[in-house]
A = this chain, B = another copy of it.
């Protein structure tokens, strides 16, 4: 019946025992469909021949130092299959096998879970090849070949899909295996392992819902009790015979079907199961998380089994060709004697470090070191390998590029350049740009961290390590920090009012909100350690306590945050700034001497030679600007007028301005505001030392500055500005908006109150004049936010130009002596769509991709965290659109904006200053779109520089390596 499905007549051999098992239903369906089909049109013999010759190859053999495929065919053969083929090609000892291609997987899902007609034949042919190379026969009673069936997608998805080992045993074969190996315990143990895997994975016999114990383990426990042993390995042949019989009964009873004795049926059942596991829930969630498209599919690898569990001269292990945590050039791994692969992973026995093999298995160790060299030389990258030693013979079961930390990525790439294994450009492409931020963050001592008490976890929103005393308000945090305490600010969620507290704190913990919450965004910009949305933890603001995992901490108690992974620990763990920060920002000799610092600096110098995109910074203070410049910022891409408003008592003047109900009252308050704005701009311009600065005029809804006042604050303000508390309340109420993000903000404020714009421009230009007078060049680029209509920009430009004229007049300066440009944020779809018209009034554009994402997707950044996880699970989104640009949708608006703007002004300078300016994939998109620069928070600048360089190489068609 199986064979009918696969397009051939049934033979007695394969149709014997397979009849009612559920996994064959699809075959029945296929048969029906096939029988319904009309006779195909006759083709001329010549044509037929060509078709036959060109018939697609679905199965690729490897083994015996040969292979149909090679390492470059990851898309077709999966990562595992391609690398097994490559290893076989270059003469490494690989158990023979075959890769069934990912195209078969795609076909399977596109055709109601059926297979191409020719597949069956190809599988049979390749089994014959495997048999020949391994000198054993599948299903043979004398010298039986056992097989493994494993998944293998283009990108590794560890543990997500199914695996079946020891396939090809039945009641007869187990006896011959026993006889042949002279190891009946091994034979029966292999059989029970196979039954356990096949029963659960292929036949779906698992713990029932509500059943607390795995039914196979229950049987094993019974056997052990009967045999009076505590360990599985204590079971002897007779015990295992009983276990096998019980397993078979269990499977029959629960599935209603007998375990298939026929090896070919076992094989097809297993292949089905692996293809099906491509779409199990685990795999889907993983794909959504890592942005792996469902249409890639998985390959299936069918490979001869080799056994590390046949005695003291056998064993199994995993290794990295270099240390994946540090990048150090040492062989790194572990092994177990007399064990199968899963024993290493399962953690029942403690594996030994690989160096100890010198004693246990000296010959194999020597071989392994040789293999290590060959692999690195051939794949020109760190390899993550699995191996088995069967009675002294080394077999390589897998190799793949090793995952590594950001530290290791930099170290390895730059070492390999020195070793002449790879080129500089390859090194640039090898380092995931995002991981570069790991080099900037403070780090815990690993050993100490492992001993600490974990009391919660959340999203890793700001990489790094921080310990300090907890405080529950910005005020308390500031107070404690001023006493020299290290502070962890703990809030349910943060708001702009918490800014001073966040600045004072070493780390920030929130129990609500996601990766795009205020806390996450600000922490990212400030380079603060941050764990956000630690949902299992609770805060009692009244009692000033934080609880989690049964522990309750009071104000002032010590807490530690690991912002790399999102862990929250009770107590203090010692941390220190990374060597890069020590050298680059703190200017410490120790940091500068470090290897990581030197490599980081060298890498950055390479990227700067390559990249075409400029990199600027989003910074609001002179300190941030100075830091950003050290990170490589070439200017400011975004400095926010309103971020100056929260410092000290400034907010009072801002509130006075907002609450004023006439122009005179507003003018009075504006005078105060101008004074501190001017002071800040002087600081910023000085820090920039001649670099350009894009300054965005007041953007947020007014309510944001006044909506958060409580009764006490209102009373206090009432005294300060001489307005009754009830009048304040009334005005606050009047300014309340249903959807403030779409409300009276940005240039809309400037058009309603031109004096607000004029004041800011005065502050900017007067500050520019002060700094210029001291010999420092100043290039203010005044940016009008939230423009939807060209006319809005035209009107605001009039105000700016008129104000500039009056400032110049007042200061006695000529036009050439006080220069500035006027441009706009493109952050509303209408502005992008009508960019040709907007450009008539603009000297530059800067895409505000945060707002453009909000409006383009109709999605509030603040509110979407409640359903974005559902969206990722449902594969609507593969990432958070506020972190990585939605290139397909919002990206088109960016392209329209660039096209429109440059159609009016071919040389229009265009940048981007949304959060996406520091996201590596987005940076590459902006490069392709032809932007002039990206702007991001200081700590993201190295990421942007590297991504910008990678974009150039990718545009040239270069990949991270020619082979792997």
**Which residues of A pack against B, CB within 8 Å?**
737-744, 748, 751-752, 786, 788-789, 791-792, 795, 827-830, 833-834, 851, 854-860, 862-864, 866-867, 870-871, 874-877, 886, 888-890, 892-893
A752 near B858 with CB under 8 A, answer: no
Question: Measured between alpha carbons, how far is A691 from B874 in the docked complex, in Å?
Answer: 36
Which of B740, B855, B876 makes the CB contact (< 8 A) with A789? B876
Q: 11 A–B contact pairs at CB < 8 A?
A: A737-B860, A737-B863, A738-B740, A738-B863, A741-B742, A742-B855, A791-B874, A827-B858, A829-B855, A830-B889, A833-B889
B786 near A867 with CB under 8 A, answer: no
B830 near A858 with CB under 8 A, answer: yes
Question: Measured between alpha carbons, how far is A548 from B890 in the docked complex, in Å?
Answer: 50
Which of B742, B788, B829 makes the CB contact (< 8 A) with A863? B742
Question: Measured between alpha carbons, how far is A806 from B886 in the docked complex, in Å?
Answer: 36
Q: Which residues of B contact A833 (CB under 8 A)?
A: 856, 889, 892-893
9 tightest CB-CB pairs across the interface, nearest first? A742-B860, A830-B889, A743-B863, A739-B860, A828-B858, A737-B863, A829-B829, A738-B862, A739-B741
Interface core residue of A740, A830, A889 (most chain B CB under 10 Å): A830
* Nearest-Cβ distance from residue A209 to partner chain B, whole angstroms: 16
Q: Which residues of B contact A786 (CB under 8 A)?
A: 858
* Nearest-Cβ distance from residue A113 to partner chain B, whole angstroms: 17
A856 near B830 with CB under 8 A, answer: yes
- A742-B858, A751-B870, A830-B858 are known contacts; what are 5 more A-B pairs with Cβ within 8 Å? A738-B740, A788-B859, A788-B889, A830-B886, A851-B858
Question: Measured between alpha carbons, how far is A752 from B867 in the docked complex, in Å?
Answer: 7
Question: Measured between alpha carbons, how far is A734 from B870 in the docked complex, in Å?
Answer: 17
* Nearest-Cβ distance from residue A877 to partner chain B, whole angstroms: 7
B744 near A866 with CB under 8 A, answer: yes
Nearest B residue (CB) for A703: B863
A741 near B738 with CB under 8 A, answer: yes
Given A795-B876, A876-B751, A876-B795, check contact A744 B830 (CB 8 Å): no
B875 near A738 with CB under 8 A, answer: no
* Nearest-Cβ distance from residue A106 to partner chain B, whole angstroms: 18
Copies in the complex: 2
B748 near A867 with CB under 8 A, answer: yes
Q: Which residues of B contact A876 (CB under 8 A)?
A: 751, 789, 791-792, 795
Question: Measured between alpha carbons, how far is A860 from B856 in the docked complex, in Å?
Answer: 14
Question: Measured between alpha carbons, how far is A857 from B829 in the docked complex, in Å?
Answer: 7
Interface core residue of A792, A854, A858, A867 (most chain B CB under 10 Å): A858
Question: Measured between alpha carbons, how far is A792 from B871 in the docked complex, in Å?
Answer: 9
Question: Measured between alpha carbons, how far is A855 from B856 in the docked complex, in Å?
Answer: 7
Which of B737, B744, B829 makes the CB contact (< 8 A) with A893? B829
* Nearest-Cβ distance from residue A873 to partner chain B, whole angstroms: 10
A856 near B829 with CB under 8 A, answer: yes
Question: Measured between alpha carbons, how far is A866 from B738 in the docked complex, in Å?
Answer: 12
B741 near A834 with CB under 8 A, answer: no
Q: Which residues of B contact A858 (CB under 8 A)?
A: 741-742, 786, 788, 827-830, 851, 855
Nearest B residue (CB) for A701: B863
Q: Which residues of B contact A893 (CB under 8 A)?
A: 829, 833
A788 near B871 with CB under 8 A, answer: no
* Nearest-Cβ distance from residue A357 to partner chain B, whole angstroms: 50
* Nearest-Cβ distance from residue A948 to partner chain B, whole angstroms: 26
Question: Measured between alpha carbons, how far is A871 from B889 in the docked complex, in Å?
Answer: 29
Q: Which residues of B contact A791 (CB under 8 A)?
A: 874-876
Which of B739, B744, B827, B856 makes the CB contact (< 8 A) with A740? B739
Which of B739, B830, B857, B890 makes the CB contact (< 8 A) with A862? B739
A740 near B863 with CB under 8 A, answer: yes
B829 near A743 with CB under 8 A, answer: no
Given A752-B867, A791-B874, A876-B791, check contact A859 B742 (CB 8 Å): yes
Question: Measured between alpha carbons, how far is A939 from B795 in the docked complex, in Å?
Answer: 39
Question: Measured between alpha carbons, how far is A748 from B892 in the docked complex, in Å?
Answer: 23
Question: Measured between alpha carbons, how far is A792 from B857 in the docked complex, in Å?
Answer: 12
B867 near A744 with CB under 8 A, answer: yes
Question: Measured between alpha carbons, how far is A786 from B744 in the docked complex, in Å?
Answer: 24
* Nearest-Cβ distance from residue A747 to partner chain B, whole angstroms: 10
Question: Measured between alpha carbons, how far is A859 from B701 in the docked complex, in Å?
Answer: 12
A830 near B890 with CB under 8 A, answer: yes
Nearest B residue (CB) for A851: B858
Q: Which residues of B contact A740 (CB under 8 A)?
A: 738-739, 863
Question: Measured between alpha carbons, how far is A467 from B854 in the docked complex, in Å?
Answer: 45
* Nearest-Cβ distance from residue A321 to partner chain B, whole angstroms: 40
Q: Which residues of B contact A862 (CB under 8 A)?
A: 737-739
* Nearest-Cβ distance from residue A263 to partner chain B, whole angstroms: 39
* Nearest-Cβ distance from residue A842 to partner chain B, whole angstroms: 16
Question: Measured between alpha carbons, how far is A740 from B791 in the docked complex, in Å?
Answer: 29
* Nearest-Cβ distance from residue A638 to partner chain B, whole angstroms: 18
Question: Measured between alpha carbons, how far is A177 from B834 in the docked complex, in Å?
Answer: 60
Question: Measured between alpha carbons, how far is A742 from B866 in the docked complex, in Å?
Answer: 12
* Nearest-Cβ distance from residue A678 to partner chain B, whole angstroms: 28
Given A833-B892, A858-B788, A859-B788, check contact A874 B742 (CB 8 Å): no
